[in-house]
Amino acid sequence: MIIAIANTKGGVGKTTLAVQIAVSRALAGRDVWLIDGDRQGTAAAAIAARSEAERAPGIACAQYPDGPQLRSQVQQQAHKWGDIIIDVGGRDSTALRASLILADVLLVPFAPRSYDVWALEDMASLVDEARSVRDGLNAYALLNMADPGERSTDNSEAAEAVVDVPQFTYLPTVIRRRKAFSNAGGSGLAVSELTPKDPKAIAEMAALMDIIFN
SS3 content of the chain, % helix, strand, coil (to 5): 50, 15, 35
Domain coordinates of the chain in residue numbers? 2-213
pLDDT at res. 46 = 97
Burial environment of residue 90 by CB neighbours within 10 A (0 to 12, 13 to 18, 19 or more): buried
Question: Could you give the angle at the alpha carbon of 32 between the alpha carbons of 26 and 34, nearest 5°?
Answer: 115
pLDDT at res. 150 = 64
- The CA R_g of the chain, rounded to the nearest whole Å, is 16
The continuous run of DSSP H or E covering 100 comes out as helix 94-102
> Residue ranges of the chain with pLDDT lower than 70?
114-115, 150-152
Tell me the pTM: 0.94
Distance CA 171, CA 88 (A): 20
pLDDT at res. 90 = 80
pLDDT at res. 19 = 97
Residue 84, beta-bridge partner list: 2, 33
The answer for residues whose C-beta is within 8 angstroms of residue 70's C-beta and 6 or more apart is: 35, 37, 64, 86, 94, 95, 98, 99, 102
pLDDT at res. 151 = 62
Give the N- to C-terminal CA distance of the chain in Å, as an integer: 12
pLDDT at res. 171 = 93
pLDDT at res. 116 = 74
CATH for 2-213, among 3.40.50.620, 3.40.50.300, 3.40.140.10, 3.30.465.10?
Answer: 3.40.50.300
